[in-house]
Amino acid sequence: MSTGTERVYVARLAGTNVFDPLGDAVGRVRDVVILMRRTGAPNAVGLVVEVPGRRRVFLPLTRVTSIAPGQVICTGVVNLRRFQARASETLAVAELFERSVTLKEDNSTAYIEDIAIERDRTKSWNVSKLYVRKTGRRKGVLGFSRRGEAVVVDVDQVTGLAQRDKNQGAALVIQSFVDHKPADLAAALMEMSPSRSAEIAAALDDERLADVLEELPEEDQIALLGTLRSDRAADVLEAMDPDDAADLLGDLPESERAALLELMKPEDAKAVRQLLTYADDSGGGLMTTEPVIVGPETTIATCLAMLRRQELPPALASMVFVVRPPLEAPTGRFIGLVHIQRLLREAPRDAVGNYVDPAIAPVEPTDHLSEIARRMAAYDILALPVVDPDHHLVGAISIDDVLDHLLPSDWREHFDDDQNADGTHG
């Protein structure tokens, strides 16, 4: 293997493009997989590479033929199965950056900001250097406090590298996903150790954590929620879509579910309790109680403004539901729905009630998943209204919730398992 430099720093390697021998792009480096050893320097065994679709896969360093500024060249077939770290593996960026270590020279504490790996004579890659910042602060020439001194030290000149650090920051990991979808961060959390994923979850704000929880498999949802204080868990449940919160709470023991519902705001808890009364595979169990609901006299301009809300899921942003007052579920009598395409074609000052689609019949809370899926396919629609026997709108079912229940419960974990993969990791 040839390298552009003898030493490669992980922070610079992260984000580097990966190419195959023909020059075709494979993906981007997102992390380095490290094996801690009882004696000797930690061993770097592979790269976590983000391939198209923002899926993260494992690329053994034995398949890397060249590392140079701006590019990594690999050979052979890349394993496209989703990467998940083994118990013995540590992710450099996600788990080692910002970890505290003790410098043997003066017994001072420092925090890791970068890691260097080097290839030895046996062609193995080992952690050789650490770029660390000491915790001590000193006064500058103008009297202002400066950050501690940054130094490069040999890896054998520190202790505590393999120890979990309760104070290790999570900001770096969270920042790296700031422009990604919640599903991407959820996938990354599944790659990490349970303790590290709990640290990341604790550092996320309620809204972001709620979005991430909605993208995790049920077992991971329960495990991550269990790491939070009860009051924090209740806040996160309030931030989730009511149907997703109900699904999660429905998997908890009765005593835990009741305790969390008591801690939630009354209006949020009421919506979730209502959803918990329905079977999981029924219209009531699938629906959310927060679609875009308007009165017939609402202008098209106002409807479009409501559909632009960033937090609105794409499926529910595809239409508005028109009802008689009151406008909160359960509403007055349901009139019909209007597709966003129709709204875009009509005058902004027109009343939305003039453009209701008469061809879309609502479903009822007791309708089975199979009937709902059949009707969605027949209507070629992204969401369906749910009405009670008195024709009051009680919620809406979006296509993502239908697919979630039609697919196997562990589909997120095995999304790419059916793709041919060379290698055994994951």
Q: Is the confidence at residue 412, as pLDDT, over 70? A: no
| Lowest mean pLDDT segment, chosen from 75-89, 257-271, 310-324 | 75-89
CATH of the domain at 350: 3.10.580.10
| 310 domain residue, yes or no | yes
Q: Is the confidence at residue 217, as pLDDT, over 50? A: yes
Both 252 and 228 in one domain: the answer is yes
Q: Which of 378, 376, 350 lies closest to 294 in space, CA to CA?
A: 350
Confidence of residue 147 (pLDDT cuts 50, 70, 90): low
pLDDT in tens, 124-133: 999 999 999 9
Q: Let me know how many helices (H) and strands (E) the chain has, helices first.
A: 15, 21
Domain that holds residue 10: 2-80
Residues 250, 257 contacting (CB under 8 angstroms): yes
With pLDDT > 90 as the criterion, what percentage of the chain qualifies? 63
Both 130 and 215 in one domain: the answer is no
Both 119 and 57 in one domain: the answer is no
H/E stretch holding 273 reads: helix 266-276
| 414 domain residue, yes or no | no
Q: Is the model more confident about 375 or about 408?
A: 375
Confidence of residue 144 (pLDDT cuts 50, 70, 90): very low
| 29 domain residue, yes or no | yes
Domain end: 277, 308, 330, which one? Answer: 277
Q: Which of 130, 133, 93 lies closest to 109 in space, CA to CA?
A: 133
**How far apart are the C-alpha atoms of 188 and 177, rounded to whole Å?**
9
pLDDT reported for residue 192: 81
| 164 domain residue, yes or no | no
Residues 337, 323 contacting (CB under 8 angstroms): no
Where b means 16+ CB within 10 Å and e means fewer, 36-50 reads: eeeeebbbbbbbbbb
Q: What's the mean pLDDT when you consider all of the chain?
A: 88
CATH of the domain at 17: 2.30.30.240
* The pair of three-digit structure tokens given for residue 409, joined into one six-digit string: 């419960």
Both 376 and 319 in one domain: the answer is yes
Both 221 and 122 in one domain: the answer is no
* The pair of three-digit structure tokens given for residue 8, joined into one six-digit string: 């490669």
The string of DSSP codes covering 167-229 is: T---HHHHHHTTTS-HHHHHHHHHHS-HHHHHHHHHHS-HHHHHHHHTTS-HHHHHHHHTTS-
- The structure's pTM equals 0.66
**How far apart are the C-alpha atoms of 152 and 131, rounded to whole Å?**
4
The beta-carbon contacts of 35-41 under 8 Å, at least 24 apart in sequence, are 35/88, 35/89, 35/90, 36/88, 36/90, 36/161, 36/162, 40/126, 41/126, 41/127, 41/128, 41/155, 41/156
Confidence of residue 309 (pLDDT cuts 50, 70, 90): very high
Domain end: 277, 312, 346, which one? Answer: 277
Both 237 and 340 in one domain: the answer is no
pLDDT reported for residue 409: 62
pLDDT in tens, 67-113: 988 899 999 778 888 787 887 889 998 889 888 899 999 999 999 99
Angle between helices 230-239 and 218-225 (to 10 degrees): 130
Both 314 and 243 in one domain: the answer is no
Both 267 and 308 in one domain: the answer is no
| 424 domain residue, yes or no | no
pLDDT in tens, 218-231: 888 999 999 999 99
pLDDT in tens, 354-367: 999 989 999 999 99
CATH of the domain at 207: 1.25.60.10
Both 155 and 177 in one domain: the answer is no
| 288 domain residue, yes or no | no
| 142 domain residue, yes or no | yes
Q: Which of 320, 332, 280, 316 lies closest to 397 in space, CA to CA?
A: 316
| Lowest mean pLDDT segment, chosen from 31-45, 77-91, 101-115, 247-261 | 77-91
Both 253 and 331 in one domain: the answer is no
Q: Is the confidence at residue 141, as pLDDT, over 50? A: no
Both 61 and 148 in one domain: the answer is no
Sign of CA dihedral 397, 399, 404, 407: positive
pLDDT reported for residue 136: 62
Confidence of residue 402 (pLDDT cuts 50, 70, 90): very high
**Total structural domains within the chain:** 4
pLDDT in tens, 46-68: 999 999 877 789 999 999 999 98
- 306-318 average pLDDT score: 92
- 340-345 average pLDDT score: 97
| 397 domain residue, yes or no | yes
Domain end: 80, 104, 132, which one? Answer: 80
pLDDT in tens, 159-192: 999 886 655 667 777 887 888 889 888 988 887 8
Confidence of residue 416 (pLDDT cuts 50, 70, 90): very low
Both 363 and 327 in one domain: the answer is yes
